[in-house]
A and B are shown apart, each in its own frame.
Chain A
Amino acid sequence: MTAVRDRELPRQAVPGAPLLEVTDLRTYFSLDGATVRAVDGVSFRLEQGEALGIAGESGCGKTTTALSLVRLLPPNARIEEGSVRLYGIDLVEKSPNALRRYRWREISIVFQGAMNALNPVNTVGDQIAEPIIERLGLDRKAALQRAGELLELVGIPRKRADAFPHELSGGMRQRAMIAMALACDPAIVIGDEPTTALDVMVQAQILELLERLRRDLGLSLILITHDLSVIAETCDRVMVMYAGRVAEEGPVGEVFARPKHPYTQKLLAAFPNIHADRRTLEVIPGSPPDLRDPPPGCRFAPRCQFAMDVCRTDVPPEVTFGDGVRVACHLYPQGSDGVPITTPPDANGTPP
């Protein structure tokens, strides 16, 4: 199998444009007459060969962000605003049929529960071959041949292609799912909590596999997880989301060493040593806001120990620092170098 990608860029690709650039994405759900602002102004970019980790508490809009890229949203969702540019081409503008051509060939997804993500009545070989036949136009024989190669690539013996999903272990199914995601040699692979349902040993193996594939195939990866240690180990950049917005985004080393946003700090504080401890994130007191009626200013303000008056009224602008870290927090005014302007007198935590 060809490891080197010699892909022909889509026709109207803008030369020099980043691989993926998401700008001010807003995806809302309508629910019993109310509007759930699940993703509300998210921007980020992904360069060729880069791995971006998206972190944040459950319900903060990670999955919705990912699914918005190729519009795999439930029927009650709509993309209200923003653009998703792949090679500079805006996917949001595409008609459903035009968009379909980008799915899997350009952006593929490894879903969370591999048990249910595979069709129970088809063999894994057939399921890996299906996009190859349907999307790349290979004949069945060639497709099955390639499916076998992909299986070996992810560490499953080729002869297991005849197995049905229920005959494989959880880890094996997730490997098969990854093989499937690679079937059309996509530009971007998204992993939406690809290891959450697995036990720890298997989790480590799957992450190793992803890292190896990244290295060998030069994959561009978006890895969604609420496990910060996973991101620290596998990703180049990290984007921390809170209640549908980006709190902080930047190179993994910078963000983990010197977290700027109070929310990021809290998250990391919950991990005294990210390499030793794999505790989950849900240890910050309070709960995320109701996304049907979020607070008007900073969404983290109600839980933030540094919250000032301005935080409750104005949405904090996103400020980018010299070290490439972007933060949305009133503690860091435009043009500052990363030192917070004020420390609230009653704050009992140490300022950053």
Chain B
Amino acid sequence: MGGSFVARRLGQAAITIVAIILINFVLFRLMPGSPERVILRGTPNVTPERIEALRERWGLNDPVFPDQLVAYITSTLTGDLGYSFIARGQTVVDVLAQRIWPTILLFGLGEMVAIALGLALGAYSGWRRGGPIDYLGNSVSLILYSTPYFLLGMGFLLVFASSIKWLPTFGMLTAGRVYGSPFEFLADLGAHLVLPLATVSLGLVGQYAIVMRSSIIETLSEDYVNTARAMGLSEGRILRHHALPNALLPTVTLIAINLGYVIAGAITVEVVFNWPGLGTLTVQALTARDYPVLQGVFLLLSVAVVLANLVADLVYGVLDPRVRT
């Protein structure tokens, strides 16, 4: 993989992030009410001096373009995203920092489970196209794909909260519980994790299976697969050594591109189970019109997706010799 390729991709990612900040700036200026009110709305004891200091720092006394824009970009890049209204004046960065870990835990694990299951199911379905597993898998995938994630969660909740009361359905840890050992803590966390994790994984697995299935089918009709057949290789070897490596490549990219789309649905699962992550934070912020927090969430998730895409592209570059040179 050439250095220029990496440099180009890094440059693109940087431009994208700046564009995201730009959007945030436009949104920020669109909001009704004076900007400093938006920023300081939740903060107690706002003195005129404080407002003036803030106007100064965010360049609000200067013209919108370029001064305010530059000030906005600079403050964003230095980690100043304003103050949260719902958290009564805590900085947005602090609020996000508290809420990001539960989401990473839930969403990260969910992605891993879904990718593993989805790719396996999709590859098998596509390989045995028209077979019973394909038929079943395809129908289930399509139905899962058509189901909003939170609705799946509500289904789980219905079963587990009202009928089978095996698993906790609320929050991340039992409220007020004192743990005797780290093991107890993990067990409690694990029990709380089961349902949200199952929901997120199930919600994602359908589309990954669909993507992988069509990728495998496409690959199986490629000439080089026909060459492999002509060589008299076994079907298993053709799948493992020729079809799979080639089918995985576009799938990696598609998964990365879809991440932005997927995140949105997945965070709504948090709301159903009161999982204390970015999803519940978003809904709380939305209810209270806490724009700085909303913008912070947007920025954070966008940057995460852009970086994930960057990583996927670089991985692709390592895996695909055609990009490497």
Contacts and interface: CB of A to CB of B under 8 A. Distances in A.
Question: Direct A–B touching in the complex (beta carbon < 8 Å)?
Answer: yes
Interface of A: 70, 72, 100-105, 108-109, 111, 113, 116-121, 130-131, 134-135, 164, 166-167, 180
A134 B233 contact: yes
Interface in B289-325: 319-322, 325
A120 B223 CA distance: 11
B232 A100 contact: yes
Interface in B240-299: 241-242, 245-246, 249
8 contacts: A72-B229, A72-B230, A103-B230, A104-B231, A121-B245, A121-B249, A121-B320, A164-B322
B232 A103 contact: yes
Contacts of B233: 130-131, 134-135
A135 B222 CA distance: 22
Nearest to B324: A164
B236 to A, nearest CB: 11
A113 B223 contact: yes
B224 interface: yes
B253 to A, nearest CB: 15
A113 B234 CA distance: 23
Contacts of A167: 325
A102 B232 CA distance: 7
B55 interface: no
B321 to A, nearest CB: 4
B227 interface: yes
Contacts, number: 70
Chain B at the A interface: SS class: helix
A131 B321 contact: no
Contacts of B222: 116
B232 A117 contact: no
B237 interface: yes
Contacts of A119: 224, 227-228, 242, 246
B322 A111 contact: no
Contacts of A164: 321-322
A55 B3 CA distance: 50
A104 B230 contact: yes
Nearest to A166: B322
B12 interface: no
Nearest to B325: A167
B319 A121 contact: yes
Contact of B227 (A102, A105, A117, A135): A117
The 7 closest A-B pairs by CB, nearest first: A103-B232, A116-B223, A164-B321, A119-B224, A104-B231, A117-B223, A100-B232
Interface of B: 222-224, 226-234, 237, 241-242, 245-246, 249, 319-322, 325
B226 A72 contact: yes
A120 B322 contact: yes
Contact of A134 (B230, B231, B245, B321): B231
Contacts of A117: 223-224, 226-227
Contacts of A111: 223, 226-227, 230
Contacts of A108: 230-231
Nearest to A99: B232
Contacts of B325: 167
A100 B234 contact: yes
B156 to A, nearest CB: 40
Given A72-B230, A103-B231, A117-B226, 11 more contacts: A100-B234, A109-B230, A116-B223, A116-B224, A119-B246, A120-B320, A121-B249, A130-B231, A164-B322, A166-B322, A167-B325
A166 B322 CA distance: 7
Nearest to A123: B321
B52 to A, nearest CB: 62
A101 B223 CA distance: 20
A99 B228 CA distance: 14
Nearest to A167: B325
A117 B231 CA distance: 12
A59 B196 CA distance: 56
Contacts of B223: 111, 113, 116-117
A111 B241 CA distance: 20
B224 A131 contact: no
Q: Which of A100, A108, A109, A121 has the most CB of B within 10 A?
A: A121
B231 A135 contact: yes
A121 B227 contact: no
Given A72-B226, A116-B223, A134-B237, A121 B321 contact: yes
A131 B232 contact: yes
Contacts of B249: 121
A109 B228 CA distance: 11
A118 B227 contact: yes
Q: Which of B229, B232, B242, B320 has the most CB of A within 10 A?
A: B232
Contacts of A131: 231-233
A101 B232 contact: yes
Given A72-B226, A134-B237, A166 B232 contact: no
A101 B233 CA distance: 9
Contacts of B246: 119-121
Q: Which of B227, B228, B242 has the most CB of A within 10 A?
A: B227
B237 to A, nearest CB: 7
Nearest to A177: B227
Contacts of A130: 228, 231, 233, 241
A212 to B, nearest CB: 23
B235 to A, nearest CB: 9
Contacts of B228: 119, 130
